[in-house]
Amino acid sequence: MYCPLSLIQIFTSKVLASFILSMVVSFASFLAMLAVVEVATLLTTGNMLLLDISWLVTMLVVSPAVSLLAITLIVSGSAKAQTMEESQQRAVFLILPLLLLIAGQFTGVILVSTWVLLGVGAVFTILALQFHAEI
């Protein structure tokens, strides 16, 4: 009641703060992993590892789209939850399948074509923006 911000502005601020931090951590982790893999590959084989375009699509399209969708759903779910534990359980059930999909793509367990990754990224982005617009 004392806050000059509307509920939409507070919601957007929470989503953007979490999204920006998650993207900074994701890109820093990716660059660190890339450096370690390149050095290890260079030391063991004498050649540099050439990355496929699917790595870039995953980092620049799918990862931000999944992050934005997950954060939007988690923030809206936490606003509706009765307790902190309920909010945490909703978040885990929402994010676990997405994490497994991305981990499977990076480890090579699940190999998805670049076009499918672009499609998944586009669908997740549209869903996140649509869901955010409804709130």
Helix residue spans in the chain (DSSP H): 7-45, 53-57, 63-80, 84-107, 114-134
Whole-number percent of the chain with pLDDT over 70: 87
For residue 111, the model assigns a pLDDT of: 67
What pLDDT, in 10s, does the model give residues 52-108?
887 888 888 888 888 888 888 778 777 777 777 777 777 777 777 767 776 776 676
In contact, 67 and 26? CB cutoff 8 Å: yes
Going from N- to C-terminal start, the domains of the chain cover 7-134
For residue 7 the two structure tokens come to 């509920």
CA pair distance 118, 24, nearest whole angstrom: 21
**Amino acid at the residue 31:** L
Q: Quickly state the pLDDT bin for 39 (edges 50, 70, 90).
A: very high
Position of tokens 């990862």? 63
**What is the pTM (predicted TM-score) of this model?**
0.71
For residue 21, the model assigns a pLDDT of: 94
CA pair distance 131, 11, nearest whole angstrom: 12
